[in-house]
Structures are given as C-alpha cells and as structure tokens.
Amino acid sequence: AEQEVPGAGATRLLGAAYRQDAPRRPVAATALLESTDRPSLATVGPNTQKKETLFSNLRADLSAAQLSLSSRLQLTLYQYKTCPFCSKVRAFLDFHALPYQVVEVNPVRRAEIKFSSYRKVPILLAQEGDSLQQLNDSSVIISALKTYLVSGQPLEDIITYYPPMKAVNDQGKEVTEFCNKYWLMLDEKEAQWMYGGKEARTEEMKWRQWADDWLVHLISPNVYRTPTEALASFDYIVKEGNFGTVEGAMAKYMGAAAMYLISKRLKSRHHLQDDVREDLYEAANKWVAAVGKDRPFMGGQKPNLADLNTLPAVSCWAPGVHGQVLQEVRKEESRENGEIPPPWESGRAPWGEQATAGALRIRILVYFFS
C-alpha cells in the first residue's frame, strides 16, 4: 500500500509513500469505496488548478473512440504536490490529455479528504455520467484509467478488478494493498494492440513495480542526507504545499530535523550504501541500461506506463539538493570523459540522443533533480 514513511506528523508533511508487497492474483470482487459521503466534483472548492508535468509536451496517440471516452470523465485529484506517487498520476493524466482539477491537501489537517476513510494520497474522484467513483493508490488509478481508455469498459466495473486487501507490513502495522495493481485488464486482442507481445507487457509491469519497490525508497535518504539539504527540501515543501503560516514555519524546521534523523533509519532499513548517492547513481544507470540506445523511451517512440512511473516519481523531489547533485556528478563525469556535457533542458527526455554512459548518467540525474 502507499503508506507514509515512519515519522508520524513530519512524514505526513512529505506525502512520501512506501508500500509493502502482498500476493497478487486475479480476483473478481466488489471494489471497496471506503466512503459513501464523497463530494460532487462540482463542489470540490476553490483550491483547484491544472498542473503541468514532465510529459505535458508529449501526448499519447488516442483514437477517436478513446478521445470520446476521455471526454466523458470529470476528474479531481487530491494530492500533495511533492508526493512522488501523486506526481506520476499527474504525468499519466497530462500525457493522455485528460482534463482534471487538483485539490492540494493540507498535510497536517487533511480536511480536504475528510470525505474518505482512505487517508492517503493520491485519491482520484472520477465522475462518468451519474456514476462517481473513488480510486485509491497511484498504480490502481493509472491501471484502471488506462484499461478504461483501451477497452471502453465502464469505470465502475474496472475498479472491481483491483480489490483492496489488508496486509501486515514488516513493522507489524496493518496496511491496505491492492490486488493486480500493475495489470491492465484487457482481452487478448486489446493486449496485442497495446503491447504487440507478452515481453513488452512483462517489461512494463516489471519496471512499474521497480519504481515503487526500490526507486522511491532512495528519495528520502538522498534529499535529507544532511541538515542543510533537509532544510532546503522542507523549504520547497512548504512553499509548494497547502500550509498555514504557523504550520509552514513549524513544518520547515521541525520537519527537516525529524526527517534528517528518519532518513538515517530508512538508509539502514533498505540496506543502502554509506554514500546514498551511489545507490541513486546505480538506479539511474540501471534504468538507462534497460532503456538502451535504440529507443528513446522504454515504450519505444512514446513513453509507456513504466516511463510515466519512473521519472515523475523522482523528478518532483530534491530541489534542495539539485545543485549539489549536479556538481558531484559533473565532477565525476568530467574526470571520466574529459569534458562536461551541457545542462539538459528541464522537461525533456534525458535519453533521447545517443550518448556515452557517462553523459547518459548526467542526463538522467539532471532530469530527476530538475
């Protein structure tokens, strides 16, 4: 389940979510919509706005039928802007040109989601005609909406394919997991049209899960690595989030101190190296190697769901360490290559040109931390 990292109130300010594995198997069950008192999309309040994301300059190739389907939906996303799971949902919605409203949730009071017994973000309310559905968990949101666009099945039927399941994590805490969350519920013909073969489908699912199970775990230890970086990160969180004046001041200083200490525990829990930057570099290199030099995206000429999962999940973070990371990496690469490649433009895919492994490493990290 997408859970808040340890640290109670300080962690809630971050919106950083961590999940635990649970058995996944096809299950046909009634989806659990954990509240009967969800607001109408017409009454979500003034705190709504359209957000642009990394892939806003790219668009999925949608058929006329898919465009017709997308026009039927009214979507409202409840989020923390700096939450990596919320970031990947925004990337998916923008890439598929799905109009949506954003409600920025106050991380302390969370009054904006008082209608829901599911207390994590992202939460997506989707209205299709007279039917209002609540979708929880970023991967479920993405899989359900993609299934809807490809198959045309009613959304209220699709969400029954992703039933919630209670599980106990390594800390003995009960969490909610969702079955089948990386699966698109397509028939054979639809799957063939979508992927072209089983290998592409398996690869997409593998890297979607990798982003959730490993890549996201590298964020906190890297952005809160030092007291200075922790304070810079929380300064960004407060500026971008929905905080009152007093809440913001407390969050900036108390949150930074708490997360600096918690990040050390997370480093130990996930068995990271003494220099957590090395784990980040290795993850970047692993992703770049998997994409290879013969395609601009893992999805080929356009991003697939793995692309839309991986990069937004990290790029929404780390403005506080942006300059330091680039300085570190460029020094290393200048030694290896004898030159420093130019900065990569924000918002562009970092692997779109042929390059050496060293240059690709810089590009992926510039992209992550821009």
Residue 243 is among the residues annotated as catalytic for this protein: no
Residues forming beta bridges with residue 133, ordered by sequence position: 126
Residue 73: helix, strand or coil by DSSP?
strand
Catalytic residue, from 18, 55, 86, 281: name it.
86
Token digits of residue 217: 């775990």
179 belongs to the catalytic site: no
Residue of 18, 55, 78, 85 marked catalytic: 85
Torsion of CA 146, 177, 11, 235, to 10 degrees: -10
Which residue of the set 18, 78, 80, 367 is catalytic?
80
Residues in the chain, how many?
Answer: 370
Q: Catalytic residue at 85?
A: yes
Q: What is the DSSP string of 177-211?
A: EETTTT-----HHHHHHHHSSHHHHHHHHHHHHHH
Asked if 263 and 221 touch (Cβ cutoff 8 Å), the reply is: yes
> What's 48's DSSP letter?
B
Distances from the Cα of 177 to the Cαs of 52, 139, 157, 207, 308, in angstroms? 29, 11, 19, 19, 21
DSSP per-residue string spanning 148-180? HHHH---HHHHGGGS-EEEEE-TTS-EEEEETT
Q: How far apart are CA 83 and CA 223, in angstroms?
A: 13
Give 17's strand partners.
4
Name the pairing type of β-strands 17-18 and 3-4.
Answer: antiparallel
Three-class secondary structure of residue 4 per DSSP = strand
Q: Is 83 a catalytic residue?
A: yes
Which residue out of 18, 55, 78, 83 is catalytically annotated?
83
Q: Which residues are catalytic?
A: 80, 83, 85-86
